[in-house]
Amino acid sequence: MRSSIERIRKDIERLAVFTATPGAGVTRYSFSEEDRNARAYIRREMEDAGLRPYEDGAGNLFGRRDGRTNDAPPVMVGSHFDSVPNGGAFDGDAGVSTALEIARILRDERITTERPMEFAALVEEEGARFACGLYGSRAMTGLLGEAHLDTFTDRDGGTLRTVLRDFGFAPERFTTARREPGSIAAFLELHIEQGPVLETNGIDLGLVSAIVGVSQFEAELTGRADHAGSTPMTLRKDALAAAAEVVLALQAAARREGEGTVGTVGKMRVAPGGSNIVPEIVNFTMDIRSSVESRMMRIIAEMKALMERIAMRDALGWRMDEKVLIPPVFMHPEIVDALEASARSRGYSARRMVSGAGHDAMVMARLAPVGMVFVPSRGGRSHCPEEWTEYADVAKGADIMLDAALRIAGKAE
């Protein structure tokens, strides 16, 4: 059984048409006209593959396929179908196409599984509309509730409640999207790598072993604005010079911890911001990620201690506020083994890797054992119109997802 490169190409090309920015990449916000059109396409493909489509209270779309034991927890395969502004045609859609293709193969081969299967197209993973990433999976796990209907707003001032209603969903059904831990036998997701590792090393497929933990902080150092000409160096309270020490220390700490640990200061604001004024207030972000929780926590503690030490030495004010703290999530070892065994038997090169980006699978791990396959991104590019993955590579990924899904769902004789 092999996935059809042509059918995968068709899915991805058709879905790419549903963009608010034709000629400038895929822009598909959740619950927009483009969402409605993409949804209609996916639903038609699901029906054509013999699935029973339904939507949950949060707006996620599923196609159900009966198994011999229908009250058993289903095996779920899928990804998201929303996009960032001016993104590419593969982020999310490659995984949705993979799910559709697996369903089509099961139809063509007339396979009956022991467990039922569900094929998922999740919504608002990117958080481009409500600034709420991983929305669909978070609603499924109960991490989002009733209260969020009125607190999530889009740029036009619409709340999640009004947007859902206008789109045709009943907001009072929102919390019915929630599923219980154990109600899904396994969740499998194919996604583009969004980085250069697979292409650089000439490897067909990535087998995700873990998704890194993410921590983000907003930091501030406060000194005193003085004349840059007449204030001696010894009498200054220079907040930017102090911040520079923190930036370099974060780099050094991440390098020292290793194992893919990364630390980034990506945003900084200097006030008052004059070439002849000693910097008074510096606001900056710290983004620290690692697949090893203790390494992430060690860096955070070190940065706090450093901020305090520098502030004492230079008589500065300081704060470091936690905005995000998500521990690393591990894929299920048996699923990783099954994916690896399938790749080997099919002659595809594969290697285990850690995902530096968050995905729905990391949230779904609260409900079920999860497995994730990465396919190569040309030039490592993603979240841009240039994003590209060879359709043949998506098909290889779909092949090993099919094998793993069948293994968990059980083929009925």
Q: Which residues bind Zn ion (CB under 5 A)?
A: 91-92
Q: Find the shortest distance in angstroms from Cβ 182 to Zn ion.
A: 26
Taking the C-alpha atoms of 226, 232, 237 and 243 in order, what is their torsion angle to the nearest 10 degrees?
110
Phi-psi region of 127 (alpha: psi -120 to 50; beta: other; left: phi over 0): left
Q: Find the shortest distance in angstroms from Cβ 102 to Zn ion.
A: 18
| Residue with Cβ nearer Zn ion (220 or 387) | 387
| Residue with Cβ nearer Zn ion (387 or 403) | 387
Q: Find the shortest distance in angstroms from Cβ 113 to Zn ion.
A: 27
The residue behind tokens 């980085």 is 195
Please state, in angstroms and rounded to a whole number, the distance separating the CA atoms of residues 411 and 127: 37
| Residue with Cβ nearer Zn ion (113 or 141) | 141
CA 190 to chain centre: 11
| Residue with Cβ nearer Zn ion (82 or 220) | 82
Q: Find the shortest distance in angstroms from Cβ 83 to Zn ion.
A: 8
Two structure tokens written together for 375: 């396919």
Please state, in angstroms and rounded to a whole number, the distance separating the CA atoms of residues 219 and 215: 13
Residue 330 pairs in a beta bridge with 210
Long-range CB contacts (within 8 A, 24+) of 32-38: 32/129, 35/81, 35/82, 35/123, 35/167, 36/167, 38/81
Query: Side chain identity at 169, as an amino acid letter?
Result: F
| Residue with Cβ nearer Zn ion (35 or 91) | 91
Q: Find the shortest distance in angstroms from Cβ 357 to Zn ion.
A: 8
| Residue with Cβ nearer Zn ion (131 or 301) | 131
Judge contact between 320 and 217, C-beta under 8 A: yes
Q: Find the shortest distance in angstroms from Cβ 212 to Zn ion.
A: 15
| Residue with Cβ nearer Zn ion (59 or 92) | 92
Q: Find the shortest distance in angstroms from Cβ 127 to Zn ion.
A: 11
List, in order, residues 6 or more apart from 337 with CB less than 8 Å away: none
